[in-house]
Every structure is written in structure tokens, then in C-alpha cells.
Amino acid sequence: MLTIRMRGAEELVDLFRARGLRITPQRQEIFRVLAGNDAHPTAEAVWAAVRREQPGISLKTVYETLHELVELGEIQRVNLEPGASRFDPNVSAHHHLVCRTCGRMADVDFAAGESPRLRAPDDKGYAIEEAEIIYWGRCPECVAAASGPAGNAKRTRGGRPHPGGAG
């Protein structure tokens, strides 16, 4: 089982201060929402959660803070499709499972040791910085719903989930 390695909210406050980045109540709430969050939320889902405590926060502030956290290596951006980023506080090496029906996303450990998991046989001259593996399928709940008496699980266009799901 994977362990989420993101720092706690207070540690992120200390890190931002040490880097000379502003600490605001809005940013502190973003840190609290993300700490230990395994739902891989979109920026919009983080914004909705933060607005419960900080109703005046802008979506721009959420995006800027998420970007800074990515730049600091505290969270990772997972790009499912163009314009459909999700944010993962688990920055340890792992892959992702995504349900095609409901959009739920889960971390999955590597099947092999600690060496690089994916190598391009011909890098075409690119300086490869990272590789992502995303397994697409259906989560247990959606499989059960589809095999139930009604068998009428929601389908999505193109077999991919709606990008706004927060897990």
C-alpha cells in the first residue's frame, strides 16, 4: 500500500515562509484541504472545498498555490487529458488507476523495484524528464453497479470520465 508523503499544513506554511512566499489564510486552507487527500482533486474541487472556510478565495489563487506546490515538489500534477489536471499530494513513485465511468482516481504501486519504470526505446533526442502510467478501467463500485439488476451505469463520451471528478 502506498503512503502519502505530502507534508502537513503547518510544515507547508514553514516551507513557504522559508522560500519567501506569502502565507495567507486562503493558502493555509488550501494546504489543509490537500494534506493527506487521496482523491486527486482538480483545482476546481480544491477551490470548492476551500470556499467553505474562505468564501472570498478566487480560483486564480488556488491555481497559483497549486502551481507553487508543484514547483516545490510537494504535489504532482496528473494530466489525464488536455485541460484536465488533477493534483496528487503523493509525490512518491507510483502509477494511477482511473475509472472510465465515475472518474475516481487511485494510486497504485509499481510492480517492480526502484529503477525507472518506463523507458522510451528511442527518445528522438528529447531530454525526458518524467513518464506517467495511467491505467484506465472501472472501479469496483461502477463494476458492481453495471452488473446489478438495472445494469445502467453512467457512461461517458469516448470512454473517459468527466475531467472535474474529485475522486
Average pLDDT, the chain: 82
pLDDT score recorded for residue 114: 52
Q: Tell whether the model's pLDDT for residue 81 goes beyond 60.
A: yes
pLDDT in tens, 112-124: 555 445 677 787 8
Residue pointed to by grid coordinates 488507476: 97
The arithmetic mean of pLDDT across residues 143-156, rounded, is: 67
Residues 6+ apart with CB under 8 A from 132: 78, 79, 95, 96
Phi-psi region at 93: left, alpha or beta (left = phi > 0; alpha = psi -120 to 50) = beta
CA 166-103-48 angle, 5° bins: 20
Which domains does the chain carry?
A: 9-86 (1.10.10.10), 90-159 (3.30.1490)
Supply the pTM of this predicted model.
Answer: 0.72
Q: Tell whether the model's pLDDT for residue 158 goes beyond 80.
A: no
- Least confident segment among 58-62, 89-93, 154-158: 154-158
